[in-house]
Amino acid sequence: MTPFRVLALTLVLVLLATTAMPARAEAMETTTMLLIATAGVAIIIIVVYLIVANMKDRKQADGPAPGTPIGGMRVDGAPIGGTPVAVTSYVVTPAPQAVVAPAVQGAVAAP
């Protein structure tokens, strides 16, 4: 069992045990009843979230094979989608810079 299922099962069992054991008959304030109801709803939301999160991985749509670059070729060389993609690079190599000697203080360069 995964940790999420153990947590969900534990939360459900605690919720059932809490509702199954009657408390002493005494008057309860409205705010106490609202607090208990809110806590119950929060627990139910957490349990549903955990169940849906566990099922999401199983129902997830098939993606590209592992190791497949997006928009290129698979590792085995077959094109994705049956058509290879033509790629053109517009990057231009910069021209080499001219080397300039540093100026020395007090010296004048001859033309």
User: DSSP characters for 45-101?
Assistant: HHHHHHHHHHHHHHHPPP-PPTTPPTTSB-TTSPBGGGSPPP------PPPPPPP-P
Q: Where are the domains of the chain?
A: 3-58
pLDDT tens, position by position, 22-77: 767 677 788 989 999 999 999 999 999 888 887 776 666 555 566 555 655 556 66
Nearest-CA neighbor of 64 among 48, 85, 47, 78?
Answer: 78
DSSP-assigned beta bridge partners for residue 79? 73
Point out the least confidently predicted range of 10-14, 19-23, 57-61.
57-61
Helices and strands per DSSP (H, E), number in the chain = 2, 0
Higher-scoring residue by pLDDT: 32, 82 = 32
H helices of 21-103, where?
30-59
pLDDT value for 17: 85
- Phi then psi for residue 21, to 5 deg, are -90, 115
pLDDT of 104 reads 66
Q: Residue 82 gets which letter from DSSP?
A: G
